[in-house]
Structure 1
Amino acid sequence: MSGRVPVRSRSAVVVGGGLAGLTAALRLSEAGLRVTLLETRPRLGGLAFSFRRGELTVDNGQHVFLRCCTAYRGLIERLGAGGQVAIQPRLDVPVLSVEHGRHRLGRLRRAALPVPLHLAASLATYPHLSALGRLRVVRGALALQRLDLADPALDGTSFGDWLRAHGQNAETIDALWDLVGIATLNARADQVSLALAAMVFKTGLLSDPGASDIGFAAVPLGAVHHDAALAELARAEVKVLLRAKAVELKTITTEGGPQHVVRLESGELLTADVVVLAGAQDAAAALLPADAIDGQHRLAELGTAPILNVHVVYDRQVLRRPFFAALGSPVQWVFDRTAHSGLAQSRPGAQYLALSQSAVTDEIELPVAELRARYLPELERLLPAARGAEVLDFFVTRERTATFDPAPGTAALRPHARTKVPGLLLAGSWTATGWPATMEGAVRSGHAAADAALAQTGARVPVDRGDGRWPR
């Protein structure tokens, strides 16, 4: 006899109901643990959620994923929500600029050809780059392909410095590298670790022809990350406590091994064999026992970066595309949210646009009136149909700590799932997933934490298929 407690008698508490916590809770439950999931907010989903504003259902921000985000797609299938998301048949990004009153529309789209030829035709006709600029981009892409993502030295270099050292200039950085990088990394090239940038571009654009195809939720995010998740957690017999804040974590020694005691703000105590801290980096740091991880005193150095979302409702249609990216404008990415929000039913003919603005530290605290004065004229400049339209509503949502700061040197600050305390694990997009702060990274961290916990308890870890998606 091994003397191990049967897995079915073991318990787990997962602190945090974002995508990392949802993943960890479901995986632990599937392995036979009794799981309690705690979430401070009144809803699940973390920073990818919806709320009501009058007759509108509003996503706090526009969250997209790529076909290469296999872990996130696996979670969506696990939640039974595969029919609530859609992925482009082929990458197709309209890119709009206005110079001297003249509109130029380019497209970044792929053909049914192997890498890197899948983007060649699109690049050859991309109007936002000169002929020399296109050759520079090819040179940069070929150099990126040669990088070894396992090389730790990459994290000490900024992406901007590397780009300039490999023939890139302001034209190519603005028109391509930052166009993609700001949206995926939440920082400009000069502020981004080469390791993270190379991972994004090699995985998304230079691995498989279809890797970069863009996916969206076809319904409000809350319908997937809260409604579908809550139903699936119930089926998995996970106990979910909303509006439940963990304020203290202690570990005690018993004859059967270490036990963790989580104290809630209400005073309730929860005892568990396994605890997964799956909240934001500051929340996890506040609960970690002293010296639980190497370099714990440096966690505060892992900074944060904001994302601003600007929401505009017009009395008529002003955009005839699902989305576009803008160049030479403070506007970055614009998405049509009319159908998703319910506006099409409540006010036929009106249109709701959402602007996703990343790496905007200088704007995140600006008053709404100032943001309105900044962005409405820009939308009119980019979209002539907006010039005669009435603005029915204008509001903003601010995620001040939307992501960790992906600066050079970040890798050394991101902890792994295992801590020095048996049965205490970390999860979250800010942990050492190798990915930037994305929904994909969050889900992968949930898998890593659950698998590490199961290995420590002696439970059978479900076989991973090797692509990061939910094991079958």
Structure 2
Amino acid sequence: MSGVEHSDVIVVGAGTAGLAAASALVRAGKSVTVLERKPYVGGRAYSYEHPALGETVDSQHVLLGCCTNLIELCEQAGTAKKIRWYDEQTFLEPNGNASTIVTSDLPAPFHFAPSFLSMSMLGWKDKVGLARGLMDFFRGYPAEDTESVEHWLKRTKQTELSIRHFWGPIVMATLNDRLSHCSTRYAGKVFHELFVKSSIGGRLGIPTVPLSEFYAAEARMIEAFGGTVRLRSSVEGLVQERDGRWRANTADGAYMADAIILALPFEQTQKLLPAVRMNEEYARGYEEAKDDLELKMARQIHSPYTSILLWYDREITDLDHAWLLDTTIEWFFHKSRIRRYAREKGSYVEVVIAGSRAQLGMTREEILSSALRELEMFFPEVRRAKLVKSGVLKEARATFSVTTGLDQFRPKQTTEWPGLFLAGDWTATEWPSTMEGGVRSGRLAAGAVVGDAMRFMAPETPASGLMRWLSRE
């Protein structure tokens, strides 16, 4: 490319945040250029061809019924039909016991009550404590993020078994971190949205195609509305010109726009900030503002995620997914069933270890052998099936940790510098580190660009049943 390419807005990064920002702006009539350094879109929600396995692999990402912005984005791009929704979830114990939760006809917040009452994985004392704990979130979730989930569990006298079989697994799956690391503000939001507020908030949605294919439709939508998505375009520096416009420099050329959105993980944003050059009008306050933003980013920490991918010569269970209790592996996804592969192709399975800091220092063989031993406890057919091939994916920077006190360090989408905006699930979205959080940040940044922060936001899941009067939202 030669010369300088001009547009209204440049979006740096084509993860969920960048795609959401760009799609909102192009649909509003703006010309947008998306610059992504990788050869695919989706950010951390991606898939790729594994050279050794000869398979397309990805780590599991899911949606929930309360992810209204992500669902709307998928509807706009035509990928909503590639989401398989589940109203029933199974919790498995190594001894073979299974407990299922499913929505009943009772009004919220009692729609899960029959399932909770029949759970064999909990005793009556555990269930009474669980009900008492959920009542804490009937009217919403804490406004402050000063208490850890671990402290809340002790304060509300939750039993050891309910922590192991309910509270802990839900927190690990949704916040990807240990109870002591997570703020009750965000855990409370999860419990309020999934189990209390409405009968649809806790529905589980799983993409039926690899993630890069899933999100490529968003890129095509951006281009269909006149936008440009450039892959393998790494931004090396940002310059604000004298007229206030922004120039993004890449190895292939330069791009100019009135506004720029950095839709990147916080560590990449932190690396790019020193390369920003301001015009004289704003240069004086640049260092002070940059130092404040870098201080906020310095308080962000990662939580890792490990996926074990297994291909068997036969089906090992008729379950599509399940929670796995009392073992290192915590969640089971039967991808060959979710994606409706022919049965004769066998079982393609993914098991997940959330918040997997210990696994970062372990070898592939150590992780795999442990996972296989534990998987046999839940699915005896594993012993008879032949393991054809396997893979281990470690994602050291899978999510950020929603630690207590973090809210004050999550920056807004607007910055001190006119025309420069931030997006990413780590910014101030009121959501934890999820695909929904990423989409919300992108739409908030797009709203800030056009001077109306909430313009592109989808309505929240409405309270239903009795919660229409009990909820404070």
How far the C-alpha of 1:58 sits from its partner, in A, is 3.2
Match of 2:123 in 1: 130
Work out whether residues 150 and 179 of structure 2, in 8 Å CA contact, stay in contact via their aligned partners in 1. yes
How far the C-alpha of 1:468 sits from its partner, in A, is 8.5
Percent of residue pairs identical: 28
How far the C-alpha of 1:300 sits from its partner, in A, is 1.6
Match of 1:262 in 2: 248
Match of 1:274 in 2: 259
Once the two structures are superposed, residues 92-130 of structure 1 have per-residue CA deviations (whole angstroms, 9 ceiling, x without a partner) of 1111112xxx31111122212212211111111111111
1:11 matched to 2:4: no
Q: 2:220 aligns with which of 217, 231, 235?
A: 231
- C-alpha distance in 1 between matches for 2:437 and 2:417: 23
- C-alpha distance in 2 between matches for 1:96 and 1:297: 43
Q: 1:144 to 1:221 in 2, by over 3 A?
A: same
Q: 1:130 to 1:56 in 2, by over 3 A?
A: farther
- C-alpha distance in 1 between matches for 2:233 and 2:107: 50
- C-alpha distance in 1 between matches for 2:303 and 2:260: 27
- C-alpha distance in 2 between matches for 1:433 and 1:361: 26
Work out whether residues 308 and 356 of structure 1, in 8 Å CA contact, stay in contact via their aligned partners in 2. yes
- C-alpha distance in 2 between matches for 1:103 and 1:30: 51
SS in structure 1 opposite 2:19? helix
SS in structure 1 opposite 2:99? strand
User: TM-score, normalised on structure 1?
Assistant: 0.89
SS in structure 1 opposite 2:200? coil
Amino acid at match of 1:404: F
Correspondences of 1:150-189 after superposition (within 5 Å): 151-152=143-144, 155-189=145-179
Work out whether residues 315 and 391 of structure 1, in 8 Å CA contact, stay in contact via their aligned partners in 2. yes
- C-alpha distance in 2 between matches for 1:431 and 1:134: 36
Amino acid at match of 2:96: H
- C-alpha distance in 2 between matches for 1:371 and 1:199: 32
User: TM-score, normalised on structure 2?
Assistant: 0.89
- C-alpha distance in 1 between matches for 2:381 and 2:109: 37
Q: 1:198 to 1:72 in 2, by over 3 A?
A: same
> Could you list the runs of 5+ residues in structure 2 that have no partner in the other structure?
1-5, 277-286, 463-473
1:425 matched to 2:421: yes
SS in structure 2 opposite 1:205? helix
> Could you list the runs of 5+ residues in structure 1 that have no partner in the other structure?
1-8
Q: 1:26 aligns with which of 12, 23, 28?
A: 23
Amino acid at match of 1:269: A
SS in structure 2 opposite 1:376? helix
Q: 1:337 aligns with which of 335, 343, 353?
A: 335
1:438 matched to 2:446: no
Work out whether residues 13 and 274 of structure 1, in 8 Å CA contact, stay in contact via their aligned partners in 2. yes
Count of equivalent residues: 443
Match of 1:97 in 2: 93
Q: 1:206 to 1:340 in 2, by over 3 A?
A: closer
Work out whether residues 444 and 468 of structure 1, in 8 Å CA contact, stay in contact via their aligned partners in 2. no
SS in structure 1 opposite 2:185? helix
Work out whether residues 302 and 405 of structure 1, in 8 Å CA contact, stay in contact via their aligned partners in 2. yes
- C-alpha distance in 2 between matches for 1:60 and 1:16: 19
- C-alpha distance in 1 between matches for 2:242 and 2:363: 52
Q: 1:206 to 1:59 in 2, by over 3 A?
A: farther
SS in structure 2 opposite 1:433? coil
1:81 matched to 2:70: no
- C-alpha distance in 2 between matches for 1:267 and 1:196: 42
Match of 1:4 in 2: none
Match of 1:194 in 2: 184
Q: 1:406 aligns with which of 392, 402, 410?
A: 402
Q: 1:19 to 1:387 in 2, by over 3 A?
A: same
Q: 2:365 aligns with which of 342, 364, 369?
A: 369
Q: Once structures 1 and 2 are overlaid, which stretch shifts more, 442-451 or 282-291?
A: 282-291
- C-alpha distance in 2 between matches for 1:33 and 1:448: 16
Work out whether residues 422 and 445 of structure 2, in 8 Å CA contact, stay in contact via their aligned partners in 1. yes
SS in structure 2 opposite 1:373? helix
- C-alpha distance in 1 between matches for 2:384 and 2:128: 41
- C-alpha distance in 2 between matches for 1:329 and 1:74: 36
Amino acid at match of 2:58: N
Amino acid at match of 2:235: A
1:109 matched to 2:102: yes
Work out whether residues 19 and 446 of structure 1, in 8 Å CA contact, stay in contact via their aligned partners in 2. yes
How far the C-alpha of 1:148 sits from its partner, in A, is 4.7
SS in structure 2 opposite 1:156? coil
Work out whether residues 83 and 206 of structure 2, in 8 Å CA contact, stay in contact via their aligned partners in 1. yes
- C-alpha distance in 2 between matches for 1:414 and 1:391: 44
How far the C-alpha of 1:230 sits from its partner, in A, is 2.7
Amino acid at match of 2:147: T
- C-alpha distance in 2 between matches for 1:24 and 1:139: 40
Match of 1:215 in 2: 205
Work out whether residues 454 and 461 of structure 1, in 8 Å CA contact, stay in contact via their aligned partners in 2. no
1:322 matched to 2:320: yes
Amino acid at match of 1:398: K
